[in-house]
A and B are shown apart, each in its own frame.
Chain A
Amino acid sequence: MNARQGFVGQSVERREDTRFLTGRGQYTDDITLPGQTHGVFLRSPHAHARIKSINTTAAAKAPGVVAIFNGEPFKGVGGLPCGWLINSLDGTPMKEPKHPVLADGKVRYVGDRVALVVAETLAQAQAARDLIEVEYEVLTPVIDTAKATEIASNVHDEAPGNLCYHWGIGDKDGTAAAFANAAHVTTLHFRNNRLIPNAMEPRCANASYNSAADEYTLYVSNQNPHVERLLMCAFVLGIPEHKMRVIAPDVGGGFGSKIYLYGEETALVWASKQIRRPIKWVAERSEAFLSDAHGRDHVTTAQLALDKDGHFLGLKADTTANMGAYLSTFASCIPTILHATLLAGQYKTPKIWCEVKAVFTNTAPVDAYRGAGRPEATYLLERIVETAATEMGIDPAEIRRRNFITEFPYATPVGLTYDIGDYNATMTRAIELADVAGFAARKAASAAKGLKRGIGYAAYIEACGIAPSSVAGALGARAGLFEAGEVRVHPTGKVTVFTGSHSHGQGHETTFAQVVADKLGIPMEDVSIEHGDTGKILFGMGTYGSRSLAVGGTAIVKALDKIIAKGKKIAAHLMEASDSDIVFEDGLFKVAGTDKNVPFASVSLTAYVPHNFPHDKLEPGLNENAFYDPSNFTYPAGTYICEVEIDPATGKTTVERFTAVDDFGNVVNPMIVEGQVHGGLAQGIGQALLEHGVYDTESGQLLSGSYMDYAMPRADDVPSFHVETAKGTPCTHNPLGVKGCGEAGAIGSPPAVINAICNALGVKDVPMPATPHTVWKAANGKL
């Protein structure tokens, strides 16, 4: 079924917009509590150093200072935990050195937290911070991902050679045999450039402690408040979970960077009890650059073996992934579970072998950033497929078609089972929409102006809706990955829905309400969606990995099913009919085959005013919870086609046309879905052309630490996009038939852009980001 009736399938305008457009959003920094104090962090100026002494005497006497804390009191509590255990090929567990809340004797990256200064005002806290004297013994930093295991300096004593793990997946010998029989082997070496997420709202938190109740409240800009609470309480501070409330109010973007438990809010919570006053901290942008978990940073060699007709025989990938200085919350699973398992892509490559070395370096922790492993896999695969096509003289669309998986379900050689897809359909439509037929004429027109035009493809797949908990657990996950929902029907038939998913731009308050209103046959105005507060929501695993509608939405649907089932029994009682004769349609409980009916609001009123009520069979009230644990990942897929024009004199690349055709299964709100793709495309084009997190390899200083140095995509860096959501193949294993759309744009676009540049210049490779200087060098044989 392709659900297109009612609100589902309609581009309903967003209900959250009015508050954002009128300045009435409530972000964490907008909340000021009685007795508010302000916290700032003293951060390490060195990439790698031993702390010899910290002198806070002068700072403590500065005006307005309330307290100063260093790492000493945190020696007795836990480190920030990593949520995914990866075992090396030799069976040993990954190295998991303690990730302290505040530095414990050593600093390991520029920006590492050394001390927390709390004062009456922000300016006083900043002034006092400048008075703290720290004596450091500077050590040799480990910066370069590719060389991390060769440098005679250890980020952690527990991880000699800076190796966290050396993991592999697939059939090593079988893949080697496939290569032995190949007619052609294509090899690429590349780096998936380090990115800095840059949600526009910097990370921030406001922690308070209520001594009368012995309870904590934490406002925090976060994507999954229950996970934040669980990790902080159970693994770090030992606070009883029921004594802690975490509220993630309006959150100004996340893109992965606000999934994690960070030391800042952990220190704030602990310190709020010490001083018995609320403490607010808001990262400056420069602090966000230094201390938000970064993304990507893989160094990879990939090889594709093909027969003489361009059929893929085997794929080998060898990746070194930078973990940064400490293991962030989900760092370990990104280059493994979310990367290597995607290397089949849309293709029936029979043999795959992927090895991943994860290394510690003296850089900010690296974790999931929009796409998380899947952009790296897609870049690897779609670059090497397109390169192989060029080398073998086969049309890039044709070589893909020859290898597309066409029968489902399909078990890949790297652990996933795709339930459904139609890769030919999205490719065919993308080729039409991109007017590939007209490319030659456009290329000639560019050439007449002295410009080089190129076209590039990417046919991506991603695994969303993470994940079946038992599968994830078997792969090392230390958490369940279900979602929870609650539907509270009020006596008047109005409905409040509580979801464990968190919206920070995705528009859940609209999309989820569309689903609920349709299901109950009531106006959207009668439905409100609540999220982001552990004090209100029963539980939640939060929003990441394009999982909210597929997993969180399904939990709501399951709760709605229970509401309807109970409503039928109440209605049967009211109409003196048998339960089994009641059907629910268009907001009415009806006796099948008759004109007898009871509206939804009458049933809800009866549930709360149960005078005429089947007390022998039912409890009063109409409120249901559901937890949904998915049985599989969902597999959105599509084809992206990028057309670039390059000025060979300057190396400036302009994205002239970008076409994205995605199969997201059923679509609840096309406007919102297309908006998600637009945003992902800009981030992916940003990765391909502009963005690069760069550390000085000698000093370990972050060189791209501000918007003056880190090239964020701006309005005139990207074109308007041609985005189309295909009619699609609905997901087979969730009731909404949805797959997830949040990351596709960022996953599919980087290889399409680089393939287009290589096509324009007639070169094998151009590294990301393809800045004008890099492209100019490539165009002039100077790379």
Chain B
Amino acid sequence: MSTSLTLTVNGQSVTRDVPPQTLLVEFIREHLRLTGTHVGCDTAQCGACTVHVDGRATKSCNVLAHQVAGSSVTTIEGLEAADGTLHPMQAAFKACHGLQCGYCTPGMVMSAVDLATHHGCHSEAQVREALEGNICRCTGYHNIVKAVIKGAADMKATA
């Protein structure tokens, strides 16, 4: 049943035998044991499972692992620098108290990095609209919005 799948995850090439129906999020969590990517719903609504596929934010519960064969996937574990320095967006979430229970946080950060990279964060309203696909139950979004704006500015400053 299983077929071989090769892709790059957090900069490293991985090859595994994976059943064809395996979701990308299952592959990441169960096959690679990278458990920072979370599952919060079953309808591709909550965004907790958001990762980057070839640099773009993707809900990994909504993609089969084999669909991204050959792609480069980045999970929350791949965001910080090799020396443990937090990515500017991670650092901004910490500085702005943009997380509480931490469950939605990996997906929220991955979405925010995509937003900052590809669209910029020009206004609070734009950030709020862009985060529509990521649900947080703890923070009321107030500090997440602050964090995303700060993180985007810090990314630009360090780019």
Given A23-B77, A201-B103 in contact, is the A253-B36 Cβ separation under 8 Å? Answer: no
Contact of A678 with B140 in the complex, beta carbons under 8 Å: yes
Contact of B102 with A20 in the complex, beta carbons under 8 Å: yes
Contact of A22 with B86 in the complex, beta carbons under 8 Å: yes
Whether a CB of chain A sits under 8 angstroms from the CB of B56 is no
Whether a CB of chain B sits under 8 angstroms from the CB of A708 is yes
Contact of A20 with B35 in the complex, beta carbons under 8 Å: no
Whether a CB of chain B sits under 8 angstroms from the CB of A1 is no
Residues of B within 8 A of A21 (CB): 76, 86, 90, 93-94, 99, 102, 105-106, 109
Residues of A within 8 A of B106 (CB): 20-21, 23
Closest-CB distance, B94 to chain A (whole angstroms): 4
Chain A residue nearest to B89 (CB atoms) is: A21
- Pick from B37, B40, B76, B138 the residue with the most CB of A within 10 Å: B138
CA distance A682 to B101 in the complex (A): 15
Contact of A18 with B40 in the complex, beta carbons under 8 Å: no
Whether a CB of chain A sits under 8 angstroms from the CB of B97 is yes
Contact of B140 with A682 in the complex, beta carbons under 8 Å: yes
Whether a CB of chain A sits under 8 angstroms from the CB of B136 is yes
Whether a CB of chain A sits under 8 angstroms from the CB of B69 is no
Closest-CB distance, B45 to chain A (whole angstroms): 4
Residues of B within 8 A of A723 (CB): 142
Given A253-B138, A683-B137 in contact, is the A716-B36 Cβ separation under 8 Å? Answer: no
Contact of B132 with A707 in the complex, beta carbons under 8 Å: no
Given A14-B97, A201-B101, A505-B102 in contact, is the A681-B140 Cβ separation under 8 Å? Answer: yes
Contact of A720 with B145 in the complex, beta carbons under 8 Å: yes
- Pick from A22, A30, A284, A708 the residue with the most CB of B within 10 Å: A22
Whether a CB of chain B sits under 8 angstroms from the CB of A132 is no
Residues of B within 8 A of A18 (CB): 86, 94
Contact of B100 with A506 in the complex, beta carbons under 8 Å: yes
Residues of B within 8 A of A716 (CB): 125, 128-129, 131-132
Whether a CB of chain B sits under 8 angstroms from the CB of A504 is yes
Given A504-B101, A716-B128 in contact, is the A200-B143 Cβ separation under 8 Å? Answer: no
| Mask: chain A, 283-316; 1 = CB below 8 Å from B; 0 = not | 0111000000000000000000000000000000
Chain B residue nearest to A677 (CB atoms) is: B140
Residues of B within 8 A of A212 (CB): none
Residues of B within 8 A of A782 (CB): none
| Mask: chain B, 120-159; 1 = CB below 8 Å from A; 0 = not | 0000110111011011111111111100000000000000
CA distance A200 to B79 in the complex (A): 22
Contact of B141 with A200 in the complex, beta carbons under 8 Å: no
For window 73-99 of B, CB contacts with A under 8 Å fall at 75-77, 79-80, 86, 90, 93-95, 97, 99
Whether a CB of chain B sits under 8 angstroms from the CB of A78 is no
Contact of A25 with B102 in the complex, beta carbons under 8 Å: yes
Whether a CB of chain B sits under 8 angstroms from the CB of A574 is no
Chain B residue nearest to A676 (CB atoms) is: B100
Whether a CB of chain A sits under 8 angstroms from the CB of B57 is no
For window 246-267 of A, CB contacts with B under 8 Å fall at 250-253, 255
Residues of B within 8 A of A26 (CB): 35
Given A13-B95, A706-B43 in contact, is the A24-B36 Cβ separation under 8 Å? Answer: yes
Contact of A678 with B139 in the complex, beta carbons under 8 Å: yes
For window 690-742 of A, CB contacts with B under 8 Å fall at 706-708, 712-716, 718, 720-721, 723
Residues of B within 8 A of A235 (CB): none
CA distance A716 to B133 in the complex (A): 10
Closest-CB distance, A286 to chain B (whole angstroms): 6
- Pick from B46, B93, B142 the residue with the most CB of A within 10 Å: B142
Contact of B45 with A252 in the complex, beta carbons under 8 Å: no
Contact of B94 with A721 in the complex, beta carbons under 8 Å: no
Whether a CB of chain A sits under 8 angstroms from the CB of B104 is yes
Contact of A17 with B101 in the complex, beta carbons under 8 Å: no
Contact of A253 with B77 in the complex, beta carbons under 8 Å: no
CA distance A672 to B137 in the complex (A): 15
Whether a CB of chain A sits under 8 angstroms from the CB of B14 is no
CA distance A250 to B33 in the complex (A): 17
Q: Pick the contact of B101 from A22, A200, A678 — CB < 8 Å?
A: A200
Residues of B within 8 A of A715 (CB): 127-129, 131-132, 134, 136, 141, 144-145
Given A13-B95, A252-B102, A720-B145 in contact, is the A285-B131 Cβ separation under 8 Å? Answer: no
Q: Pick the contact of A23 from B75, B99, B101, B138 — CB < 8 Å?
A: B75
Residues of A within 8 A of B21 (CB): 123
Whether a CB of chain A sits under 8 angstroms from the CB of B38 is yes
CA distance A198 to B99 in the complex (A): 16
Chain B residue nearest to A17 (CB atoms) is: B94
Whether a CB of chain B sits under 8 angstroms from the CB of A69 is no
Residues of B within 8 A of A708 (CB): 43, 45
Contact of A679 with B42 in the complex, beta carbons under 8 Å: no
Residues of A within 8 A of B100 (CB): 253, 505-507, 675, 679
Closest-CB distance, A691 to chain B (whole angstroms): 11
Contact of B137 with A679 in the complex, beta carbons under 8 Å: yes
Chain B residue nearest to A723 (CB atoms) is: B142
Whether a CB of chain A sits under 8 angstroms from the CB of B34 is yes
Given A252-B38, A683-B137 in contact, is the A22-B128 Cβ separation under 8 Å? Answer: no
Contact of B140 with A707 in the complex, beta carbons under 8 Å: no
Q: Pick the contact of B97 from A252, A671, A706 — CB < 8 Å?
A: A671
Whether a CB of chain A sits under 8 angstroms from the CB of B48 is yes
Closest-CB distance, A354 to chain B (whole angstroms): 31
Residues of A within 8 A of B101 (CB): 20, 199-201, 250-253, 504-505
Chain A residue nearest to B148 (CB atoms) is: A715
Residues of B within 8 A of A507 (CB): 100
| Mask: chain B, 19-62; 1 = CB below 8 Å from A; 0 = not | 00100000000000111111111110110100000000000000
Contact of A22 with B80 in the complex, beta carbons under 8 Å: yes
Whether a CB of chain B sits under 8 angstroms from the CB of A680 is yes
Residues of A within 8 A of B40 (CB): 200-202, 252, 285
Residues of B within 8 A of A371 (CB): none
Chain B residue nearest to A31 (CB atoms) is: B35
Contact of A721 with B38 in the complex, beta carbons under 8 Å: no
CA distance A18 to B75 in the complex (A): 15
Closest-CB distance, B10 to chain A (whole angstroms): 10
Closest-CB distance, A719 to chain B (whole angstroms): 9
Residues of B within 8 A of A32 (CB): 33
Residues of B within 8 A of A682 (CB): 139-142
Residues of A within 8 A of B99 (CB): 17, 20-21
Whether a CB of chain B sits under 8 angstroms from the CB of A27 is yes
Whether a CB of chain B sits under 8 angstroms from the CB of A407 is no
CA distance A45 to B35 in the complex (A): 32
Chain A residue nearest to B132 (CB atoms) is: A714
Contact of A679 with B45 in the complex, beta carbons under 8 Å: no
Closest-CB distance, A261 to chain B (whole angstroms): 21
Additional A-B contact list (10), CB under 8 Å, known A21-B94, A714-B135: A20-B101, A23-B34, A252-B104, A672-B97, A681-B140, A682-B139, A706-B43, A715-B141, A718-B140, A721-B142
20 A-B pairs (CB sep. < 8 Å): A21-B105, A22-B36, A22-B79, A23-B76, A27-B38, A32-B33, A199-B101, A200-B135, A201-B101, A284-B42, A285-B42, A507-B100, A675-B139, A679-B140, A683-B137, A706-B45, A713-B141, A716-B132, A723-B142, A745-B140
| 3 closest Cβ pairs, A-B complex | A23-B36, A20-B102, A252-B103
Residues of A at the B interface (CB closer than 8 Å) are 11, 13-14, 16-27, 29-30, 32, 123, 198-202, 250-253, 255, 282, 284-286, 504-507, 671-672, 674-675, 678-683, 706-708, 712-716, 718, 720-721, 723, 745
